[in-house]
Structure 1
Amino acid sequence: MATRYWVVSLPVQNSASSLWNQLQEQISKHSFDTPLYRFNIPNLRVGTLDSLLALSDDLVKSNIFMEGVSHKIRRQIEELERVSGVESNALTVDGVPVDSYLTRFVWDEAKFPTMSPLKEIVDSIHGQVAKIEDDLKDKEHDAVCLAVRDLSDLVKSEDIITSDHLVTLLAIVPKYSQKDWLASYETLTNFVVPRSSKKLYEDNEYALYTVTLFHRVADNFRTSAREKGFQIRDVEYSSEAQETRKQELEKLMQDQERLKSSLLQWCYTSYGEVFSSWMHFCAVRVFVESILRYGLPPSFLACVLSPSTRNEKKVRSLLEGLCGSAIRQVVKAIAHWKAEDEVGGGMVGLAGDADNYPYVCFTINLV
């Protein structure tokens, strides 16, 4: 399976079918090992030029966001499969492998009506992906909370101070935040015992610290610590409680395995939803950038290619050759204007595209 694709649109001079035939012939003749597919984009509402320009400013940022969420869920799947010993499954969208979904893309009219304004479609796509990302954070947090180990075996009796007025709490501090903890814990509330924090344990992600303070400010301390990203836990050191804690830990481990399995199944489904939304967004992006590049009415051929690294220059040359000379001159002029603007400052590049190709092109990285 290829993991890196170009999404390209070429200006149509006569007919899309004849241009497609030319492209197939050129690729077959000069770079026959480059997979080539049509990328079918429906007739979308154009709106005004101002609305397209405003939308184009956000397209690159939105694409980075969606790609990032896709990769985040993929990495979570790989990690869950690794720690659970589950055989890796091919990622799919409604049962279709993701690479096939991309190369045989079909717009989902029921999900994203083409009569809706483009901005409304983009906002809807972005909102769905953002909600899935939020859900992932919540589910990861639940899994992490259950995974927090029993702390009693890390605490000795001499680490704990308990009296009528004083109490010792345990702080779970992200490893990268230890300097922040040491610099701030004494001021999170009043009546914290100075220099009372002692590190008991550290792993790859967290460090465990004690802190001693007056009973009456413990709740305030917990609240202030939580706002800064520190988890505060109570602990009562008691040898008699060890057996109870052991049983609790066994239950937590069982719950953790159940949550991992549930999270993995959720990730499989959510990855497909994010990938589908991302591909619909790419279709909108091709449409917008093609109009801004080639003008109205919309007349372009969109396709997906996956050239090998050694053939990239050759394929780019073939694509450029299929663009009309007028288009090439326009892009050269744009490149000249952008070069001048980099000196003087002011003009925004066409469709936010930093590459001065005479055709629309951007990359999709599946991993």
Structure 2
Amino acid sequence: MASRYWIVSLPVQNSASDLWRRLSESVSKNAFDTSIYRFNVPELRVGTLDSLLSLSDDLLKSNAFIEAVSHKIRRQIDELEKVSSGEGGALTVDGVPVETYVTRFAWDEGRYPTMSPLKDIVNNIHGLVAKIEDDMKVRASEYNTVRSQLNAINRKQTGSLAVRDLSDMVKEEDIIATEHLETLLAVVPKYSQKDWLSSYETLTQYVVPRSSKKLHEDNEYALYTVTLFRKMADNFKIAAREKGFQMREFEHSPEVQDTRKQELQKLVQDQDAMRSSLLQWCYSSYGEVFSAWMHFCAVRIFAESILRYGLPPSFLSAVISPSTKSEKKVRSILEDCSSNVQSIYWKSDDDVGVAGLGGGEDTYPYVSFTINVV
């Protein structure tokens, strides 16, 4: 799918069909790798020149906003699809591929009555897109909250022995817990294991000889048990910490472990369900935003053409998808096709006028702006 389109309008001197034939034939002959399509703009309500001039600023701001929301939803789709196990599908607008919608655009009179003032249509489009953006923020925040909780749990389960959950490493038979005896867990730096093994029995009185057993080892630490009289546990912990050994609190509880597993499973299920729901919502909302954007582009091309060429409306609009190497040639063709009619607001490069309605883009003796689809 093309990622960038020009939407242009040319002033019609005699016949729109003659101008279209001339334009399409010239593009086909001189820039054969460029696709060109009619962009069907309905006859909208013109209003006053002052209202059009006032609207022009809103058009530029709203276009940037709508385009940004469109790209934001697309990025969210891409992110979700990376972990969606193939749940995603093709981007569509009103049931057709995005490229087809762009190149065969038809105005939706039911959604946007052409007799409505242009400002009302623009405000309705802007409001719709703003609501979708707000909904996306809420939905994405809820999904990211669950995702963050899962990531935190995963870090505890896969991180360093100094901080990770130990329940999957310590078995019931590793722990002695009687009225007089207690098993402690020590996290020993990997390079200090010999020091631990040679000293743990002497860190305090009443340590059971040869009771230390290594349960696990990672890149930084090793996890050891040690058994001693319960009444000496606090003294042992203090002495161990002074030698650089970290004592981990741990209580073996099958009930607690089962509860944690159930909570983890529920979080995973919640994340999967929310991801699937958010992905479906994004696909649907992308279509809504893109449809609104193309209707907005039709309003924009209409308003800017009136401001550029005057009344009554007499212009030909088109969607062009030029290759990079053909851009200059296509621009030349477009300029040639519009050179016979003097644009009433067209100024020279030294003047400042309505010719700059392109929103910061280069100005031409015809209306032109670019939309970036992806």
TM-score norm. by structure 1 comes to: 0.71
Q: Out of 227, 233, 255, which is 2:270 matched to?
A: 255
1:364 to 335, 350, 371: 371
1:330 positional shift:
5.6
Q: Does 1:269 align with 2:284?
A: yes
* Structure 1 segment 199-278 matched on structure 2, within 5 A: 240=253, 241-278=256-293
- Asked if 1:282 corresponds to 2:297, the answer is yes
Aligned AA (1:357): Y
Deviations 1:250-299 (A, max 9, x none): 11111110111111111111111110000000000000110111111111
Q: What's the counterpart of residue 172 of structure 1?
A: none
Q: Say whether the 8 Å CA contact 2:35–2:322 is kept in structure 1.
A: yes
How many angstroms apart in 2 are the aligned matches of 1:77 and 1:238? Answer: 43
* 3-state SS of 1:42 partner: coil
Please say if residues 10 and 366 of structure 2, whose CA atoms lie closer than 8 Å, have aligned partners that are also in contact: yes
Whole-angstrom CA distance in 2 between matches of 1:283 and 1:83: 37
Match of 1:313 in 2: 328
Indicate yes or no: 2:147 matched with 1:140: no
1:351 counterpart = 2:357: yes
Report the Cα offset of residue 129 of structure 1: 0.7
The letter of the residue matching 1:315 is V
Query: Which residue of 1 is the match for residue 241 of structure 2?
Result: none
Q: Does the CA contact (< 8 Å) of 1:42 and 1:114 recur in 2? A: yes
The corresponding residue for 2:28 is: 28
Paired residues in the alignment total 280
Shift of 1:116: 0.4
Q: 1:13 to 1:348 in 2, by over 3 A?
A: closer
Pick closer, same or farther for the CA change 1:88–1:148 going to 2, 3 Å: closer
Structure 1 residue 337, shift from structure 2 partner: 1.4
Shift of 1:12: 0.4
Preserved contact between residue 146 and residue 270 of structure 2 (Cα < 8 Å): yes
Q: Which residue type is aligned with residue 357 of structure 2? A: A
1:329 to partner: Cα distance: 8.9
List runs of 5+ in structure 1 lacking aligned partners: 158-236, 339-346
Amino acid in the other structure paired with 1:71: H
- The verdict on how the C-alpha distance between 1:156 and 1:80 changes in structure 2, with shifts beyond 3 A counting, is closer
CA contact (8 A) 1:6 1:363 kept: yes
1:356 Cα deviation (Å)? 2.2
Conserved 8 A contact 2:38-2:103: yes
Give the whole-Å Cα distance in 2 for the aligned partners of 1:273 and 1:30. Answer: 36
Query: 1:128 matched to which residue of 2?
Result: 128
CA contact (8 A) 1:44 1:115 kept: yes
How many percent of aligned residue pairs carry the same amino acid? 63
Listed as ranges, the gaps of 5+ residues in structure 2 are 165-249
Query: Equivalent residue of 2:136, what SS?
Result: helix
Say whether residues 1:300 and 2:306 are aligned partners: no
Asked which structure has the greater CA Rg, the reply is 2
Q: Distance in 2 between the 1:366 and 1:356 partners?
A: 21
Partner of 2:9: 9
Query: Could you say what secondary structure the match of 1:74 adopts?
Result: helix
Normalized per residue, which structure has more helix?
A: 1
RMSD: 2.3
1:353 positional shift = 4.2
2:350 aligns to what? 336
